[in-house]
Each structure stands twice: as structure tokens, then as C-alpha cells.
Amino acid sequence: MKEKDIKGGVSSPPYTLAVELKGIVKKFPGVVANDGVDFNLRIGEVHALLGENGAGKTTLMNVLYGLYQPDAGEIWVKGKKVEIDSPATALSLGIGMVHQHFTLVPSFSVAENIVLGLRKDITNMREVARKIRELSEAYGLPVDPDAKVRQLSVGEMQRVEIIKLLFRDVDILVLDEPTAVLTPQEAESLFKTLKRLKSEGKSIIFISHKLNEVMEISDRITVLRKGRVVNTVRKEDTSPEELARMMVGREVVLRVKRRERVDFGDVVLEVKGLEAYSDKGLKALKGVSFSVREGEILGIAGVAGNGQRELAEVLSGLRKASSGMVLLGGEDVLNKGTGYLIEKGESFIPDDRKRFGVAPNLSLVENLILKSYRNPPISKGMFIDLSCAEKIADELIEKYDIKAPGKHIPVKLLSGGNLQRLILARELEGNVKFLLAFHPTRGLDISATEFVYEKILESASSGAAVLLIAGDLEEIFALSDRVKVIYEGKLYGDFPADEGYLDKIGLLMAGVVDGNET
């Protein structure tokens, strides 16, 4: 089949490369995101892009998709050198991208979203719906063309994004962290779809930080580090351990050594009949009850938007509950506020580091003493002993290996990984009775994640009761002693952290509850 380039000319296959990027350079103020990157994608393959945060993966794909213009380098598509100045140009070349954060209009139907932006003479929506159903059935992407997007699950929204590209006859697909918000069953279904697309000669670039997924779905893997290509390897010629080493530049412990079974202590946190409303005025927590004991890590798994945020904010004093009880050390602390919870020994690792975790315009020293500046030895009556504060900050900076140009710079200038180290240093020092960890590794690379895991396990081993709220089941299984599932504001199940229960947990995450409410 002949392919048209962006100027309407005709190239003559056969060609073996769907995409070839040569010497791509993309700079931002103070940062070289892509530094002479060479990358190619073959016809009918899944090529994975791996790298830590800031390695340049998404930037490189945004260049291919026309969202960024390269400062140097060449782009070749299907044997032709091209200039891609916009996503519209990319689509005309058969290149489509599904972003990590979907670009759908919630109030529109599936069909309306799929034809949005196409030529204005598409008026036969019945024919559009028919084609959507055909694509849906052919590629195992079940979705109702008449449903409003706001009614869909996250997994269904992703299907709509993929169908939207197939509707436009895209044959080069870029998927940016496609499984980040999916249940295990949805991820498995997605992989079946990708294998079907590949068998039909379509070419797929798969961006992921999950090494087991990369090893399952990809044919070749390119690793980026600090904007440069470390290596491109065939899946058969590598291993997760080698890939992690290429990403980080050193040996990385990929799997946490599971703690031996311990006898947990007394109940530290007990939640009874907790109810709360979302910012939209809808009931987000519906009679939530559970308990966590000394030294125990309870994991709560779920797809985003099922009440996790409201639960974390109520337990950390950032949101008022409408009813229920939260017993911390036997005392009801419901709606007592953050300061009171801190006094009672609660620590909090938030998902949004900059919004809830730090005061971005204050220095490292000031952020590190935010919980302790009122107490001796830092507090001297109405004043702060600055030399004492600096000494304590120096010790924490060294202990938690916080990399910063200076301890008096605003922390908004720190990287995400160093911000998280700062938060851990402040929250985990002292007598921690209850640790609430809400997506503690969101947005972190492998080495930073490894450090966070180590510190959470240390905290539990020291006797703290830990509540881990996360969407990544790998994280849940790596750290937890028990696992519950949150779905539409209710808790379900009570499982050992054993991957033998993965299917049951995945079904609960998808809403197949079958009488498992607790």
C-alpha cells in the first residue's frame, strides 16, 4: 500500500522503519531534555521507552507528535524526511498519541469525542456509532458510543482514546504510561489489544516505568538517562535487573524483601462508619471502617476517584468528615485538625508534594522544622534557636541524602525525588505512632522509589501503624501486610498481601463486589 507524505507526494514501500529520529535535541531554559537522541520504530513492533523521571521520554514523544519543535535533528516517517509542526500534521502522517492524562470532554458522548476536530461535514452520527462498534469489537475495546464520557470508568476512557486514533486510521501509536490507572484485568485486556494491533502491522511506542510490563509486551527497549540513549536492546537479550541498572546507573533492588510475619501490637488507628463529601458535594466515603495495629502496614488499593483522596484528607485533618469516628490511640480525633493530629503522633506523606507536603517558598531548614519549631530544643519561648534548627537540618539532610545547592534556598527549586526525601526526613523522625502514606512514590523514579520503600518499612518495624493508600498494585503488594479495596467510597475484602489474590483484588477494583464489603 502506498503512503502519502505531508506534501501529498508518494513514497514506495517496502520500508522497514515506521519512524526514525536522528540526533534529536530539545532544550528548555537551563535543561537539555533530549541530547542528540537516536531512536527508531520498526513496522509491526512494540518498542518500549524506559527512563527515570526527567530522562526525556515524554519530551521525545512530544517532538514526534508535533507538540514540541526540536532544536536540532531529523524526523523520518515511513521512509520520508518530514517536519511535524503540530499534532494535526502528525495525525496526517498516521501518528497518534494517547497521553497519560486523557483529553476527552466529559459532557460529550463517546461518539462526539471521537469525531471532535474532524472535518465539519461529519453529520451522520449513526454511521459514526456503527464504525465505533466495529472497531470496538475488532480490537477488544468494548465501549458504548452513546454513553457520556463522564459516565465511564478510567479504563473505558482509555479505550475511547485508542478508538479515536483507530477511527483516524492511525498506524503509529504512542502510549504514555497507559497502565498507570488500570486494574490488572484492564491492563491484561489492553495488552491483548496491543498484540492484535501489532499483528496487523501497526507500530507502537510504549512508555512505562513498570519493568514487568515492558518485558511482557515489548519487542525492543530503549533506555534514556539524562536526555541521552543508554542502549537499545531486544527483550530476549536483557532482564529487569539490567534495565533498572541502565536507567539508574547502579544496582537497584527491584523487589522489596518481604518482612517475616510479625506479631503486631495493639490497635493504633480505628476508623468507624466514616462518611465524607467530595468537593462537588457528592458523598465520597460511605461508612468506611477499618483498623491498623502497631507495626502493621495496611494497603488500600483502588482505581483513582473512588474516595482515596477524601479518606486521606479526612485522616490527615485536611477535610471535615460528616459522620463517623477516627480513634487514634483510643481517642476520637475526628475533625480535630492537622496540628492536633501531629501532637498525637501522626505523620503524613501526601501525594501532592508541592501542594500539601512543603511550603515551597520557605527554605530547607524551615521546611524540615515545620513540625517541631514550637518544641524544645528549637523553641526558645517566643523565639526559634536558629543555630539549633540549622544543626538539626544538617543532620537530616545528611541522613536522608537530600541533594540541594544550599539549605537556605526555597524548596520549590528541588527535584521531586529530593522533595520527597525532605518530607520523609520531617515526617519519619521522632516518635511516629501512625503513618499515613498517600501515593508516596507517585511521580518518582526507581531510585527514589527504592528509598521511600525502605523508609516506610523501617517506620513499621519501629512500631508505627502504617496506612498505605496507592493505585499501584506492585507497591501495595511490596509493602503491605493486609490489603483492602476501595470502590465508590466503600471498603471491600481483607486479603493477605499475596499475589495469589491479584485477580480477586482486581475484580473488586473494577466494581465486581460479590458480597465482599467489610
Task: Indicate whether 476 belongs to any domain.
Answer: yes
Statement to judge: residues 63 and 158 lie in one domain: yes
Q: State mean pLDDT over 199-221.
A: 91
Terminal Cα-to-Cα distance of the chain (whole angstroms)? 58
Spacing of C-alpha 310 from chain mean position: 18
Render pLDDT for 45-66 as a digit per residue (tens, 0 to 9).
999 999 877 788 989 999 999 9
Statement to judge: residues 499 and 398 lie in one domain: no
Of 269-278, 292-301, 325-334, 419-428, the poorest mean pLDDT is in: 419-428
How does strand 490-496 pair with strand 10-11?
Answer: unpaired
Statement to judge: residues 424 and 464 lie in one domain: no
Render pLDDT for 221-248 as a digit per residue (tens, 0 to 9).
999 988 999 999 999 999 988 998 888 7
Which of 214, 248, 282 is the C-terminal boundary of a domain? 248
More confident residue, 360 or 198: 198
Task: Indicate whether 74 belongs to any domain.
Answer: yes
Can you give the pLDDT at residue 253?
A: 61
Statement to judge: residues 511 and 376 lie in one domain: no
Can you give the pLDDT at residue 4?
A: 38
- Give the total number of structural domains in the chain: 3
Statement to judge: residues 425 and 440 lie in one domain: no
Band of the pLDDT at 119, cuts 50, 70, 90?
low
More confident residue, 252 or 287: 287
Task: Indicate whether 97 belongs to any domain.
Answer: yes
Torsion of CA 263, 265, 268, 271, to 10 degrees: 50
Which of 430, 445, 471 is the C-terminal boundary of a domain? 430
Q: How far apart are CA 261 and CA 76, in angstroms?
A: 56
Task: Indicate whether 26 belongs to any domain.
Answer: yes
pLDDT at 514 over 90: no
Cell numbers for 156: 473505558
Statement to judge: residues 406 and 480 lie in one domain: no
Task: Indicate whether 481 belongs to any domain.
Answer: yes
Q: State mean pLDDT over 111-134.
A: 84
Task: Indicate whether 392 belongs to any domain.
Answer: yes
Q: State mean pLDDT over 254-267.
A: 73
Phi, psi values for residue 145, rounded to 5°: -65, -20
More confident residue, 468 or 125: 468
**Other residues' Cβ atoms within 10 Å of the Cβ of residue 198:** 18
pLDDT at 7 over 50: no
Task: Indicate whether 353 belongs to any domain.
Answer: no
Strands (E), 243-282: 267-277
Can you give the pLDDT at residue 2?
A: 37
Statement to judge: residues 396 and 312 lie in one domain: no
Render pLDDT for 425-468 as a digit per residue (tens, 0 to 9).
999 988 899 999 998 987 677 777 888 899 999 999 999 999 99
Torsion of CA 331, 284, 507, 184, to 10 degrees: -90
Q: How far apart are CA 338 and CA 357, in angstroms?
A: 13
Statement to judge: residues 426 and 437 lie in one domain: no
pTM strictly above 0.95: no
Residue-range definition of the domain harbouring residue 437: 266-345+432-518
- Range 73-96 burial, b when 16+ CB lie within 10 A, else e: bebbbbbbebebeebeebbbbbbb
pLDDT at 13 over 60: no
Q: How far apart are CA 265 and CA 469, in angstroms?
A: 21
Q: What is the CATH number of the domain that holds 191?
A: 3.40.50.300
pLDDT at 29 over 90: no
Statement to judge: residues 27 and 83 lie in one domain: yes
- Going by C-alpha positions, the residue among 260, 211, 93, 228 that lies closest to residue 472 is 211
Statement to judge: residues 35 and 181 lie in one domain: yes
Of 43-47, 179-183, 300-304, the poorest mean pLDDT is in: 179-183
Statement to judge: residues 142 and 276 lie in one domain: no
Statement to judge: residues 423 and 437 lie in one domain: no
- Range 372-397 burial, b when 16+ CB lie within 10 A, else e: beeeeebbeeeeeeeeebbebbeebb
Task: Indicate whether 166 belongs to any domain.
Answer: yes
More confident residue, 253 or 470: 470
